Every structure is written in structure tokens, then in C-alpha cells.
A = this chain, B = another copy of it.
């Protein structure tokens, strides 16, 4: 890998009021001083592994092949949970083995999983509470400089996977749930565009709490400001929104709330 154009992305729940992310960048630059370090998101809710996994799944395809994605949402740091490196479909992933990367991985015969056990690539001494700084940042930096993945430890057969909440069919209904809420208060559901394949957009009715939304909009401005709309969003998911407004705070929505799509017969 050419360090000069190598890219490392960082995804953490470290927030924006401490120097932890900056410290990781320093640890990277000590080893590989001339690469692109990109912040994917450090506002993941504390300890919310699934939110981080969703962030990564929505992002990876928009980065160049060879990008190294470091993620640290790591409540189990210093315990038995393993540090891992994954190479899958041209992307590298470095972080704790707790499911963080499972939504971003594609079914792929050639996925390589390495248990990070070669301490020669860790910072010394290393803490038991900040592996982002002491293990993941230096391993990613050495990887960016061209150290082969298999140098960092022993291959492993599997890694922890999170369960993707699958939608259910119940008669004329597709039953899903609120999966993610963005800063605009838009409600991302687990209902994917492909779940609606073959259905006419105007013959769909979305049910959420007492809210009923007729049809799918193309964008946010199709309806009146004080109306809920639904659309297929940029992640390919059915989303409930309000134009220039916050659907989450208006509806009191929270992650896991049920959303139903009704297929209208005319």
C-alpha cells in the first residue's frame, strides 16, 4: 500500500469533548506521517455497537478500495474480547471483535480475519482501557505502511456478528422497526427498498404509532411542512420524515419502535 495516499477512517463513541480521537491520530502519525485520516463519526452514542455498525455499513462503499476502517466502540476493552483485523471485499477493518464490522462485511469467500496478537505492533506499555490508542491506531498505521495483514497475529475462522433485525410479513403488512435516527430527526427503518420490489409507490401506506402516510415521496419537499412523509433514503431504507422539521421529536419515536407498511388493494 502506498502510504502517501493511504486512507484510515475513524469511527468511535469518543464524542467531541475529549482528546481521545486526537491522541489516536498522533499514534497513527508517529508510524505513518503522510496519510489521510478521515473522521467518519465520533458521535456514536456511548457503547452503542449497533449504531456504529450501521454507520460503517452505510459508509464503506463510498471509500476507495484499500481504505482501512478503524472503529472503537469498545465497552469490553481489556477483557476477553479479542482485537481483530478483517480484510473483506477490498476493505480493511481494525477494532474490537464485538460485531462492529458485521453489517459492513459482504458475504465473501475470501474474507480474512486476523486475531491481533503480535505485540510487536502495539504501543508499549499498553493500557487496559484505551486499545484505540495502544493497539488499533498503531496496527492500522503499520498496515497502511504495507505490513501484511497476517503479520499482526493468527488467522481466525470467525468474528462476532450482530443480528440484523429482519422485517416480517403478516398478511398485507410488512412489519419493521425504527433502526436509526439521524440529527434531523429522520427515522430510518429496517425496511429496505428491495422489500418493496414490485410494489407501486402510491399503493403503499406506512403506519407508525397513530401516524398514517399515504404513498412514498421522492424528496422532502413534496408535501406540506406540517405533514409526515415517507421515502426511500440515501441508505436504501424506508424513512419517515417531516419537511424542514424533526419527525423524531414530533412523534416521540425511539429506536426499535414498530413501523408497518400496508400494501393497498384497490
Contacts and interface: CB of A to CB of B under 8 A. Distances in A.
Interface string A1-34: 0001101010100111111111101110110011
B219 A23 contact: no
B18 A29 contact: no
Nearest to A40: B22
A36 B33 contact: yes
Chain A interface mostly: loop
Nearest to A5: B33
Contacts of A231: 128-129
A40 to B, nearest CB: 4
A173 interface: no
Contacts of A156: none
Interface string A157-198: 000000000000000000000000011100000000000000
Contacts of A21: 39
Interface stretch (A54-62, A113-121, A143-151, A203-211): A54-62
Given A18-B182, A29-B63, A130-B234, 15 more contacts: A7-B33, A11-B19, A15-B183, A17-B41, A17-B182, A21-B39, A27-B62, A29-B36, A33-B64, A62-B133, A78-B218, A78-B219, A79-B219, A127-B234, A129-B233
A183 to B, nearest CB: 4
B30 A75 contact: no
A77 interface: yes
A62 B23 contact: yes
Bin the interface of chain A by size. 35 or more
Contact of A128 (B19, B75, B219): B219
A251 interface: no
Contact of A19 (B37, B59, B127, B218): B59
A255 interface: no
A200 interface: no
